[in-house]
Structure 1
Amino acid sequence: MTLTGKTSRLIVALGLLAGGLTVISAPAAVAATAVARLLPNADFESSATTPAGWAVTGSAVATVASPTHSGVVAARVTDTSSSTGVSLRSTRITTLPGESLTASIWANRTSGSGGVLYLEFWRADGGRALAVSTPLTAASGWQRVTAIGIAPDDAVTATMLAYSSLTDVSSIVWDDATVASVMPSLRKVPDAGFEEPRGGGSPTEWAVYAPGGSATVVDTPVHSGRAALRTVDTSTSDEVSVLSRQIPAAGGETFTASVWANRISGASGVLYLEYYGSSDTRLTAVTATVPAGGWRQVSATASAPSGTVGLRVRLYSLQSTTGTTVWDDVTLKSTSEPSYVSALAADATVLFVGDQRVDYYTGVTRQMNPGTKTGPVLSGVDTWDANPRLSGTVLPGGPGYQMWYATSTGTGFAESVDGITWSRNGRTAAIYPQAMHGVVQNRDWTPESGGPKFFMLRPAATGDPKPRHYYPMQSADGIIWTAVPGSSPIPGWDVANVTYDPVTGRYIAMTKQYPTDYAPPAVPPGPRTVWVATSTDFAVWTAPRPSFAADVADSGLIPIGTGKHGTTAWSEIYGMPAIRYGDQYLGTPWVFDIAYSPNRDNGDPGPDTGRSHIGLAASSDLVNWSRPNRTDLILPGPVMSWDWGFALTGTTLLNVLVDGEWQTRLYYGAFAGEHSCTAAAVSAGDCTVVQGNSKIGLISWPQDRFESFHGAGTVVTRPLSPAGATLRVNYDPGPSGTLIVSVVDDQGEPIRDYAATDAVAVTANALAPGVAVSWSGRTTLPAGPIRLRFDLTGGDLYSFTIS
């Protein structure tokens, strides 16, 4: 609910005790399970005169035999200048957006002063996204220094940096570095970093109530990214309150809400974690006060009481105080968060699309591999199906394949024997008056069982009790549809993509969301984002939670000059299906690059003009997505061609045997022109190519060959506990490459009989299902947990499977 007027001020004046509300202070820390990450030469023992595997800035770095914290040698950094620093930087390890890293190292300052440990997060373009630092405190002797940070959304790798300090002269010995990580949270706060570009200076997706001052988005100071939120309280009788959207939560869970805060002046700044029941009734809250002293992470922890359905985070300035606070990088953690799961199911292909299974890589680069386009395979034949397009679904069935696709009048239906030549079988009208947003086969259907064979979600129609919702539907033949008995609609608007996960037995709905908790002007309209809900019966669904959004890296890739009327173009996510594929989910985000928005900060975003392109992402939990490569999965055609302007994808990836070789197929739709680009909009200078002329095409790859590690280098996995024992790799050596696979332990040391010298090199093109790897006649892996080390002299490594 929105706090307004005297009621709001009274509740706050009473410390939020009204209506049975309880405030809890002095929170306890949330327990989390950390997993050790593999840091090459972390103890500096694999070294000669300089630390191997570490990058050195400055010349005064050497290994020494004394003092050491453990082992035979350590690394000494000697800084003789008060104007330059000397640094020792580790190999980059992979990180997932939202992953928490704890970097520690032992340090002994033998002379002088200074010394700092940095934990750095890096973007794919090589720029540093965030750095967290901890200085040495003891004057001498061995001390353990630790830096903790959460990876920003655009970070793909992280490093540890042992630094001498810029203005100090010192000699410091470093030894026994470690890095541990905790998987990203399953709860996200929308616009947690205040980076979303809409809002006209106000934070999108947050409700602002500021009778005592103001709350605005600023570009300095920031903790990470390019923006933060500044609250200014100039009144001793009124407050400033900034309240997040509600996030699903359940009674019995213990949550920690954290925020980075910088108290610029005064005594202002309190973090609230609030729990809500049905009818938006607030049940309980916990607070934490922002201390002075620059950027500080502030956390509040409390258990959700019985009856909790959701939580909110409030950034607050008390009525009785004044001051200025800057806020950034809000996070949520729960005691029910999953840890990293090393278990790997038999035959579950691990693609090198995301980094859920990758610990670190050196030398190689990430490469997106363009598929082969066919088509268009379906074009409009009459006014009833003008501009046919996917979003939609292609499933095996009928004579070979069945397609449900969007038309100008609803949903079209076509069938094909080979998946390339399609027939409407004489139909001259849409089978349903609205577009279907993903069709799935009922997991319990058999030819003998009868009942519905297919499910889908339809958008709300005139007369439905809940607008901006999706209603579950069922069908025995895929053509005649009725409501799923006992079902309830789920929130969403304009776009939904429904898939089925056979591994967990869940139906997945990825729906587009806009802020609907509050009516403008209480909260500015936010961007297009994707939320996820799941169901085991297609009738009852979990409450949607934030899943996928564009970030600063997407906007940064838009060509300069794309914006119209002085607009700096930015990216949003128009839609995205989540498709189970082996060990991971694959997402094909429809990245909408907005060139001009006539209602940017107030009103309907429908008239936004611009193009969309298709990316590729991977996830293990449907909430946190890894995108180390932002290159287009589907390259657009030339200007004015049917697939130049605005691309969408279907909800299935199909593996098909063609001429004795397996290939992966993805169907997609596209408009020749731009979103909402009418002739009048072209004349007004809002866009350049009129929308329309949509068709459906097909793109295919040799199976699993979407994205690869390319070139010469090394890739090492995170720990694996496979159910299978036979390792197969999907690898293309190119002209002269080779691949050596060794098995290493948790310290990165080769396991006996499975070292690189035991491995039989892979030198031939190993198409799916891949070639079996062997070691001196051994064809089965040792018992897990293990790590796999891939050493390439060239070529492309796409995936591996353990069966």
Structure 2
Amino acid sequence: MRTIVQLLAVSLAATFALAGGVPVAAQPLPEPVVGKPGELVANGGFDVGDRTAKPLAWGVEGNEAGANIVNLGAWRTAGLGSLEVKDVAGSSVAVRTERMVATTGASYEASAKVRLRTGAPASFELEFWDFDQNLLTTKSVTPGPGTEFQTVTLTGTAPAKTAHVTLRIFADVAAVGDSYWDQVTLRQVPLPYDKALGRDRELFLDDYRIESTHDLERVVHPGQKRQLPVVRADKPWEISAYTYGSTFKIGGTYKLWYTCFSDVAPNYHMCYAESANGVDWVKPHVGRVAYKDIPASQTNIVLQGSGTIAYNPKAPADRTFLLMKFQGGPNGYYGWKSPNGLDWTPLSPDPLLLDGDVSQVAYDETRDLYIASVKKRMFTSRTPGIYERSAFVSTSKDFLTWTEPQLATSGDYADDGLAESIGGLEGQIYGMPILPYEGLYIGLPWVFLTLNYTAGQYASAADGPVLPQVAVSRDLLRWVRPVRGSLLEPSLGGAWDDGALYTASNILVTDKEIRLYYAGFNNGHGGADPTDPNRDNHRGQTGLATWRRDGFVSLTNRSLPGTGDAGELVTKPLVFTGRDLHVNHVVFPKGEIRVSVLDAAGNELPGYGVRQALPLRGDRLDSTVRWSGGRTLAQLAGKEVRLKFSVVNADLYSYWIR
């Protein structure tokens, strides 16, 4: 919990580096080509098994003795091992991957290498499942005859209501024989690529516009936190005062809606604060809810219960502010409207979406679209009978009618590995605010590392840290997490935010920085331990973290002239309007960034080569790229080109053309 975590997305292990302001590193980008579908299957080469030789990250059903990891040179194609499937008469055996998040309407491609030794081979299956673990559809292929390794492939499109996808190797009672399996892969077919480069900035959160790289690493930069909370629990009705909430700057005033926990039912309330600078907050007496003998006019409590807010100044006057919150009768996420963020009335007597607990809403003004991320619970966790918290996404044009929630992020083997590395059980997704940002969507999955079900006052719901990470989507359906590392790190022991961390539903962005308000607790999710001498001081408060503009993630190279290897990135084909290429970067001593322009065949265009490129140096939020003679991109507008970034000892955050 006090570490900075480096997770390999294709590994089952977690690697650690000490904290202290150093960026959180993830895996190096694949070399030499990225921008292709990511591998979904863990241990697809069957190189590692448990102590009984069963493949890790796979489950075995039926005749368990008939499926084992083996290390036989003649019966593998790569790596150390392969899966031996030995089916005997009268029995069956199935080996299935863990469930992986799938997207309705997306296509998937699977392949495996298999060699038959005797008898009939097992079959290879692609399976799609719904939220309730019902099998929706299966694609199957049986290897052909022959004793040499052959490749079998499957393709399938996830039907409506899909939540998960799995692969299965299955030998039924009729398929008596021995076969060996290796190099199992599963990839989601990516979105169609659009060469047109708009006016939005291009960040490096995903590989969408990247054709190839070498010696660059995608890095998460934890936010710079203020040492003290900016909103404290300092009112009689506040045991805690934290941001399960939203923050906007409207006119010259920062407005914050936060959760206060009190000793009066329903315990959770929504409170209001405001500030002239976003740091020093006041709690005006604008309350609509009383507390014991304190009248509403003397509180800042504006609503019983708590949720998050979408602010749309173009909406009808009575619903400029729209809120979603969990409540009973029946359980679900309900909508509320307000003209000013203080006076709230229900949108409908019925829930907008079913299930309950944590939700976040946002408004995307570019698409005139409301976005909801809601927590749902599936019984797919490692612990029998225990639910798995996951984030689902739904959209609406009017905040009343919402699309079928689509599973977006769920705990996976990398999250589980992180939990195990600190002595825990598994990783789950507690919630996920969604931030419309520069033409894409940044998710902040709250990764809940469940340690146990015995510690704290809420032990039955699990104890452990909650750490916000990064996810990204281009269409609100397909979500990727190509880099793992905490955007916010707990402070050291005894600090007010040394426990679980949550975030507001939105960020505030200027030309220079990103501001994110967050909830810091001085205990884990399980709450105060009854034996803790400080148990009466356990509470949540509100903090502030900042990043440079576009600063969540960078592509990083740490070579120096004469030592190490310079990094390089080539984009996919681009077509643009505009004349100037802008870059957001930090170049460290003795480093530089140069940008050259390539034609469709990958050749440097005359006058735009790396030798003609003027080097970028220093810490610049907005550098304009030039080539010798003051050359700009004006004469290349409308033509198909690629950009090549040559990077030495620098962080590359974003680029754009205007």
Q: TM-score range by the shorter chain?
A: 0.7 to 0.9
Report if the CA contact (8 A) 2:34-2:212 is conserved: no
- Within the candidate set 312, 326, 332, 1:442 is matched to 312
Question: Which structure 2 residues correspond to residues 184-583 of structure 1 after superposition, within 5 A?
Answer: 213=63, 236=90, 249=104, 255=107, 258=110, 260=112, 267=120, 269-271=122-124, 286-289=139-142, 298-301=152-155, 310=162, 315=168, 317-318=171-172, 320-321=174-175, 331=186, 338-346=191-199, 348-374=200-226, 375-382=228-235, 384-397=237-250, 400-408=253-261, 409-426=268-285, 427=287, 428=299, 430-436=301-307, 438-442=308-312, 444-445=314-315, 449-459=316-326, 461-464=327-330, 467=331, 469-484=332-347, 489-515=352-378, 525=386, 527-556=388-417, 562-563=422-423, 568-583=424-439
CA deviations 1:33-76 (Å, max 9, x no partner) are xxxxxxxxxxxxxxxxxxxxxxxxxxxxxxxxxxxxxxxxxxxx
Report if the CA contact (8 A) 2:42-2:413 is conserved: no
Distance in structure 2 (CA, Å) of the matches to 1:593 and 1:278? 22
Counterpart AA for 1:671: F
Report if the CA contact (8 A) 2:594-2:610 is conserved: yes
Classify 1:772/1:740 alpha carbon distance in 2 versus 1 (closer, same or farther; 3 Å): closer
Counterpart AA for 2:544: L
Q: How high is the TM-score relative to the length of structure 2?
A: 0.73
Classify 1:606/1:576 alpha carbon distance in 2 versus 1 (closer, same or farther; 3 Å): farther
Number of residues of Structure 1 aligned to a counterpart in Structure 2: 597
Q: Does the alignment pair 1:711 with 2:581?
A: no
Classify 1:772/1:246 alpha carbon distance in 2 versus 1 (closer, same or farther; 3 Å): closer
RMSD: 5.1
Deviation at 1:619, TM superposition (A): 3.6
Distance in structure 2 (CA, Å) of the matches to 1:765 and 1:519? 45
CA deviations 1:283-308 (Å, max 9, x no partner) are 97653235697997654456899xx6
CA deviations 1:565-597 (Å, max 9, x no partner) are xxx554333222221221432233322223224
- 5+ residue gaps, structure 1, are 1-95, 99-120, 127-153, 161-178, 195-200
Aligned to 2:514, the other structure's residue is in SS state strand
**Corresponding residue for residue 748 of structure 1:** 602
Q: Does the alignment pair 1:679 with 2:547?
A: no
**Corresponding residue for residue 37 of structure 1:** none
Q: Does the alignment pair 1:700 with 2:546?
A: yes
Aligned to 2:304, the other structure's residue is in SS state coil
Classify 1:239/1:675 alpha carbon distance in 2 versus 1 (closer, same or farther; 3 Å): same
Report if the CA contact (8 A) 1:494-1:512 is conserved: yes
- 5+ residue gaps, structure 2, are 1-7, 17-25, 47-52, 262-267, 288-298, 560-565
Classify 1:241/1:353 alpha carbon distance in 2 versus 1 (closer, same or farther; 3 Å): closer
Classify 1:226/1:611 alpha carbon distance in 2 versus 1 (closer, same or farther; 3 Å): farther
Distance in structure 2 (CA, Å) of the matches to 1:746 and 1:642? 55
Deviation at 1:671, TM superposition (A): 0.4
Distance in structure 1 (CA, Å) of the matches to 2:459 and 2:141? 37
Distance in structure 1 (CA, Å) of the matches to 2:488 and 2:477? 23
Deviation at 1:698, TM superposition (A): 0.7
Aligned to 1:776, the other structure's residue is in SS state helix
**Corresponding residue for residue 801 of structure 1:** 656
Distance in structure 1 (CA, Å) of the matches to 2:282 and 2:644? 48
Classify 1:606/1:513 alpha carbon distance in 2 versus 1 (closer, same or farther; 3 Å): farther
Report the identity percentage.
26
Q: How high is the TM-score relative to the length of structure 1?
A: 0.62
Distance in structure 2 (CA, Å) of the matches to 1:388 and 1:488? 26
Counterpart AA for 1:350: E
Counterpart AA for 2:282: S
Deviation at 1:475, TM superposition (A): 2.5
Deviation at 1:665, TM superposition (A): 0.9
Classify 1:272/1:697 alpha carbon distance in 2 versus 1 (closer, same or farther; 3 Å): same
Deviation at 1:248, TM superposition (A): 6.4
Deviation at 1:310, TM superposition (A): 4.7
Report if the CA contact (8 A) 2:111-2:153 is conserved: yes
Distance in structure 1 (CA, Å) of the matches to 2:183 and 2:531? 37
Classify 1:527/1:488 alpha carbon distance in 2 versus 1 (closer, same or farther; 3 Å): closer
Q: Which moved more, 1:572-581 or 1:260-269?
A: 260-269
Distance in structure 2 (CA, Å) of the matches to 1:279 and 1:672? 36
Question: Which structure 2 residues correspond to residues 519-668 of structure 1 after superposition, within 5 A?
Answer: 525=386, 527-556=388-417, 562-563=422-423, 568-598=424-454, 606-625=460-479, 629-656=483-510, 662-668=512-518
Deviation at 1:401, TM superposition (A): 1.9
Q: Does the alignment pair 1:670 with 2:520?
A: yes
Classify 1:796/1:387 alpha carbon distance in 2 versus 1 (closer, same or farther; 3 Å): same
Counterpart AA for 1:343: A
Compare CA radii of gyration and give the structure with the larger one.
1
Distance in structure 2 (CA, Å) of the matches to 1:429 and 1:235? 73
- Within the candidate set 576, 591, 603, 1:722 is matched to 576
Aligned to 1:385, the other structure's residue is in SS state coil
Classify 1:749/1:539 alpha carbon distance in 2 versus 1 (closer, same or farther; 3 Å): same
Distance in structure 2 (CA, Å) of the matches to 1:756 and 1:463? 65
Distance in structure 2 (CA, Å) of the matches to 1:412 and 1:125? 41
Q: Does the alignment pair 1:157 with 2:4?
A: no
Classify 1:327/1:754 alpha carbon distance in 2 versus 1 (closer, same or farther; 3 Å): closer
Classify 1:328/1:598 alpha carbon distance in 2 versus 1 (closer, same or farther; 3 Å): farther
Counterpart AA for 1:534: T
Deviation at 1:376, TM superposition (A): 0.9
Classify 1:559/1:525 alpha carbon distance in 2 versus 1 (closer, same or farther; 3 Å): closer
Distance in structure 2 (CA, Å) of the matches to 1:671 and 1:727? 43
Report if the CA contact (8 A) 1:416-1:422 is conserved: yes
Report if the CA contact (8 A) 2:128-2:166 is conserved: no
Distance in structure 2 (CA, Å) of the matches to 1:520 and 1:626? 22
Report if the CA contact (8 A) 2:58-2:95 is conserved: no
Distance in structure 2 (CA, Å) of the matches to 1:217 and 1:380? 57
Distance in structure 2 (CA, Å) of the matches to 1:404 and 1:340? 39
Deviation at 1:275, TM superposition (A): 8.2
Distance in structure 1 (CA, Å) of the matches to 2:118 and 2:532? 49
Distance in structure 2 (CA, Å) of the matches to 1:223 and 1:443? 60
